[in-house]
Amino acid sequence: MARYIDLHPENPQPRVIEQLVEMLKDDALIALPTDSGYALVSRLDNHDGKDRILSIRGLDDKHHFTLLCKDFSQLGTFVHVDNHVFRAVKGVTPGPYTFILEATREVPRRLMHPKKKTVGVRIPDHAIVHALVEAMGEPLMASTLILPGETEPRSMGWDIKEELDHLVDAVVEAGECPAVPTTVVDYSDGTPEVVRRGAGDADRFEA
């Protein structure tokens, strides 16, 4: 049965954040609110986390996982960013965008796209995510919580607790969050390709 954990959406309690950090270090899979709906998150070295997320979402190994980062400096450690991409990404973060970029050696191989060696990265504009990533000292492996047959991410903690009670280890409740997924921009070939239109303005990345 999943733990149901209340957090203040703008000023998350440090004591509760530390409890979540300890759970993540023990390989917990957590449903976490973000600025674009709930996400399933685990620590980078959680070897079962990837398989559990793929199973819950009904996805295959070609799915692009996302690293939730606290800031641009941390993001730059895990993906290759040239000057052109730097300006584009810096201009819209933090915010509801996911960028697909070539991964560095800091990214566990199992999280990279099997052929392209790319990974998704983003810097959410959400106090809970920022506090948790800050306390972890590293990005979180994440995937938007869109269940099979659905097109929008879940946005209410109680709803997730009811449906995924025996599939996740904890659900963080912080009130309703947006139910619009991120805009996904693929920069793996050096030029932007909008893979998914979502909450972020996609027009700025299309010629």
Q: What is the pLDDT of residue 114?
A: 82
Characterise 149 by phi-psi region: left (phi > 0), alpha (psi -120 to 50), beta (else).
left
* Between 69 and 151, residue with greater pLDDT: 69
pLDDT digits (tens, 9 = 90+) for 17-64: 999 999 999 999 999 999 999 999 999 999 899 999 999 999 987 788
pLDDT of residue 207 exceeding 70, the answer is: no
Range of the domain at 76: 3-205
Q: Residue 198: which pLDDT band, with cuts at 50, 70 and 90?
A: very high
CATH of the domain at 49: 3.90.870.10
Number of domains in the chain: 1
Q: Answer whether 152's CB lies under 8 Å from 146's CB.
A: yes
Place of tokens 């990837």: 50
- Confirm whether pTM is higher than 0.85: yes
pLDDT tens profile 127-146: 999 999 999 999 999 999 99
- Residue in the structure block whose two tokens are 């960013």: 81
Residues near 181 by beta carbon (within 8 Å), at least 6 away in sequence: 36, 37, 96, 144, 146, 152, 153, 196, 198, 199
Average of per-residue pLDDT values in the chain: 94
